[in-house]
Structure 1
Amino acid sequence: MMNLKLTIASFCLVTTAVSAQVKDTLAEKMMVYQLPNGGWGKHTSDKKNVDYSLKLDPKLLKIIKAADNDLATIDNNATSKEINSLIKAYQATKNPDYLKSAEKGIEYLLSMQYPNGGFPQYFPNSAIYRKQVTYNDNAMINVLTILYNISEGKEGFDAVNSPWKEKSKVALQKGIECILKTQIQQNGKLSIWADQYNEVTLKPEKARAFEPMSLATGESVNIVKFLMMQPVTPEIERSIRSAIQWFEESKIEGYAYNVSKEGDKAVRTLSKKEGSAVWARFYDIPTNKPVFGDRDGSVKFNYEDVSEERRMGYSWYNESGTKLIEKEYVKWLKKNKISE
């Protein structure tokens, strides 16, 4: 009788442990904010990026309910951030709800891919520039990195169920083909990539008024780094080498770009610094000159001609090409036993 009681007690304890799922508070909030189509929006009710460390926002929940799927986007790390976080939460807790929510997000990403392999900034919302194939703010590369991790079973994505793995492999290859097709030629030479492209023609286009049709350096650095993760093919090797050559030839030597704070305002200054190099955020496609956009849609070729609001409110230069050339590229050559 005593053994029977112990067996029953042990069974009850095991049942209780299984049924009482461990919960992650951030993941719980992410599931609440998830849209019906599986994606996520990027803004709270006061137009700031969603902060999951804060309490649930009743106003935002009301907006989500009213807008439905129109808020779903991959801009500002939205959707990719949540999927990555939910996978980590599942790793830590084994709560199946988190994996299910992440897989619903993955299904959304797969549903938004164009036949040409590109991804729009928003889906299904196709207003203004939201339907463009978008590298801006690393939107498409964030998505392709998730598809890569699913395909390779990395970063906890080995938990994703088989149907999504097979679909992700196909979508990943289409995405890589799109990257290779959209690398821009200048005078017959491959250069880097633009921020946005027409979703049908894959020709570069402008987006917001201060984001002219141009080559985009920051995003291109991350595109090259993503290509370096892939198995080397002649096309990928040519793409990477061409981009590195463009960065070498287009750097502005002897300058540094500094961002500091004065009260609540950011102060951005371009100053001389020996031994340093910067790249403009945007380069004019035909001339390869640094180019700057303003709120009124005008395009300037002189940084000082940009209105103060835009000059201080946007990062017009970066130094990310230095690490790409001096470290990542060298490491990639060595890893793949490729001669310079």
Structure 2
Amino acid sequence: MSVSSRFLLLALALAPVAFAARIGTIPPADALTAERVAVLPVAERTAWQAYLARSEAQRAADRAALAAERQGLVTWPTPPEGGHGEASMPLDKPAAWYGSEAALLVARNMLSYQTPAGGWGKNQPRDRAPRQRGQAYVADNSSKRARPGDFDLAQDAQWSYVGTIDNDATITEIRFLARVAAQFPGEAGGVYRQAAERGLRYLLAAQFPNGGWPQVWPLQGGYHDAITLNDNALVEVAELMGEAAHGEKDLDFLPAGLKAQTAAAEASAVQLLLATQIRVDGRPTLWAQQHDALTLAPASARNYEPPALSSGESARALAYLMSLPNPSPAVVEAVKGGVATLKALAARDRTWVKVDEAQGKRLVAQPGAGPLWARYYDARTLKPVFGDRDKSLHDDVNDLSLERRNGYAWWGTWPLKTLQAYESWALKHSF
């Protein structure tokens, strides 16, 4: 066992244990605003002001483009159908399939729904009818449970997630279009190559000056403005940037200048990951699902998602860092510290299971079970924490309302694959 692992185990053993139905209230995340940017040091302020201006100009251009389409229309088309979008955009088919009519149907649909900014919305099947003139760019992604004061309440229900990396949106479309374009190396594939390139330029425009990415761009406000590791969004964008830089995964058609830009974007994202990894007593531990764009502190998301460290997203970030060729000493330190933390936090002799209809899911004792990890850990104490829809924070998952206990993955085995991969990686990186 490493020194950092022993330290964390000791810290967890000595930390006071307190159990209560409610230990706090989850605060709202801070949006990225001109007022916040105005108080930054002068050396940082200019880049962030330019970023905000770019976002505002693009949002206005996107909305103006849709308004222009709607001029003269007696009625507007209904918004596109929502649903499980990824299933309609498979990335694991044989190469020849991407030249089929089924793949072309999806690709043409993608072309029609690409926003003027170059991104795509989420939760939208791509094997349906193409977008009509005047139709919204994205499906309705408004939360049906949101009430006044809810963190997930859209500022404009008619304009939400218009360009996002949430749920693999935009990332998946770019990858799919590149596969289709590879089957049409001549003029016929030009429109798909152009759309994929526009998608990459969209992601470059959306990247924060410090290397992170917001969940939605142009900026939407609220927690959507935070650096988003949730659902592995930032890591997957960084991976895509690396593949584009090296012309991998059918992205070899990109111009040299764009490849250089994506290489720089990935390098910046790696530095951002190192900067956002939370340190406890000087030791690198884990990441939060969201980090504030300016302060880099853990940030909240939805009502029940606290500003806490996340085991699943952290495991994925560590796997990404381990995939980097020739990792720097700082990357090696980050990986070793993160892995040591995950090992120390593993819970055993407990299982997360549905007891019955009345009790729903509960964490119960079961000798020999595990390891399990909580989804969230307090960034100071490294104790598990759990949020409810009323924004209450708890230290016992069994205290949550039945609806939230059943409706969220509070415990899981997400880090297992990363911990297994670490064993061979560590042998090669002992410095």
Is the structural similarity TM-score above 0.5? yes
Report the equivalent of 1:54: 128
Q: Is the 8 A contact 1:205 1:212 kept in 2?
A: yes
2:178 match: secondary structure? helix
Instruction: Please tell me whether residue 255 in structure 1 is matched to residue 333 in structure 2.
Output: no
**One-letter identity of the residue aligned with 2:266:** L
Relative to 1, partners in 2 of residues 1:185 and 1:270: Cα closer, same or farther, differing over 3 Å?
A: same
Q: 2:421 aligns to what?
A: 328
| 1:160 positional shift | 1.8
For 1:239, the aligned partner's letter is A
- Structure 1 residue 269: deviation in Å? 5.0
How many residues of Structure 1 are paired with residues of Structure 2 in the alignment? 306
**Would you say 1:30 and 2:104 are equivalent positions?**
no
Render the CA deviation track for 1:72-105: whole Å, top value 9, x for unaligned: 1111111101111111111233312111100000
Paired residue type of 2:345: S
Cα offset, 1:229, TM superposition: 1.4
Identify, as 1 or 2, the structure richer in helix: 1
Residues 170-204 of structure 1: CA distance to partner in whole angstroms, max 9, x if unpaired?
11111110000000012222101011111111111
Deviation, 1:240, is 0.3
Aligned pair in 2 of structure 1 residues 232, 261: CA closer, same or farther (>3 Å)?
A: farther
Match of 1:208 in 2: 302
AA aligned to 2:323 is M
Question: Which consecutive unaligned segments of at least 5 residues does structure 2 have?
Answer: 1-98, 139-156
Deviations 1:53-72 (A, max 9, x none): 3344769x722289679611
1:288/1:153 CA distance change after superposition, 3 Å:
same
Secondary structure in 2 matching 1:27: helix
* Partner Cα separation in structure 1 for residue 412 and residue 308 of structure 2: 16
The whole-number CA distance in structure 2 between the counterparts of 1:35 and 1:314 is: 31
SS across alignment from 2:319: helix
AA matched with 2:113: Y
Match of 2:181 in 1: 90
* Aligned-pair CA distance for 1:298: 0.6
Which sections of structure 1, spanning at least 5 residues, go unmatched?
A: 1-20, 43-48
Q: 1:259 to 1:155 in 2, by over 3 A?
A: farther
Write the mapping of 1:2-151 to structure 2, written as runs, cut at 5 A. 24-42=104-122, 49-56=123-130, 62-64=135-137, 71-94=162-185, 95-151=189-245
Instruction: Report the Cα distance in structure 2 between the residues aligned to 1:259 and 1:105, rounded to whole angstroms.
Output: 42
Measure, in 2, the Cα distance between the counterparts of 1:259 and 1:63.
40
Q: What letter corresponds to residue 331 of structure 1 in structure 2?
A: S
Say which SS state the counterpart of residue 368 (structure 2) adopts: strand
User: Which residue of structure 2 lines up, in the alignment, with residue 246 of structure 1?
Assistant: 341
Q: Quote the residue 1:295 is aligned against.
A: 389
Deviations 1:124-144 (A, max 9, x none): 133111111110111111110
Tell me the CA shift for residue 255 of structure 1. Answer: 3.1
Secondary structure (helix, strand or coil) at the match of 1:299 reads strand
The amino acid that maps onto 1:105 is: G
Letter in 1 for 2:168: N
Instruction: Report if aligned partners of 1:258, 1:270 keep a CA contact under 8 Å in 2.
Output: yes
Alignment identity in percent?
32
State which drifts further: 251-260 or 68-77: 251-260
The structural deviation recorded for 1:268 is: 4.6
The structural deviation recorded for 1:110 is 0.1
Matched, 1:234 2:360: no
How large is the Cα RMSD of the aligned pairs? 2.5
- The TM-score, its normalising length taken from structure 2, stands at 0.66
| Residue deviations 1:269-288 (CA, integer Å, cap 9, x gap) | 54536253110000011111
Task: Note the alpha carbon deviations across 1:281-320, whole angstroms, 9 max, x for none.
Answer: 0001111111101111110111111111111111111102
Aligned pair in 2 of structure 1 residues 260, 101: CA closer, same or farther (>3 Å)?
Answer: farther
Q: Which has the higher strand share?
A: 1
Q: Counterparts of 1:173-184 in structure 2 under 5 Å?
A: 173-184=267-278
Change in 2 beyond 3 A, CA 1:218/1:270: same
Are the counterparts in 1 of residues 284 and 338 from structure 2 also a CA contact under 8 Å?
yes
After the TM superposition, which of the residue ranges 68-77 and 50-59 deviates more from structure 2? 50-59
Amino acid at match of 1:242: G
- Give, in whole Å, the separation in 2 of the partners of 1:226 and 1:273: 33
Query: What residue number does 2:398 align with?
Result: 304
2-side partners of 1:185 and 1:147: how far apart? Answer: 27
After superposition, give the CA deviation of every residue in 1:33-57 in whole Å (9 maximum; x if it has no partner).
1111000011xxxxxx111233447
Task: Give the 3 Å change call, closer, same or farther, for CA 67–163 of structure 1 in structure 2.
Answer: farther
Matches of residues 187-206 of structure 1 in structure 2 within 5 Å? 187-206=281-300
SS at match of 2:135: helix
Give distance in 2, aligned partners of 1:162 and 1:198.
33
1:22 shift after superposition: 7.6
Query: Does residue 1:165 correspond to 2:259, yes or no?
Result: yes
- Contact 2:277-2:286 within 8 A present in 1 as well: yes
Q: TM-score, normalised by structure 1?
A: 0.83
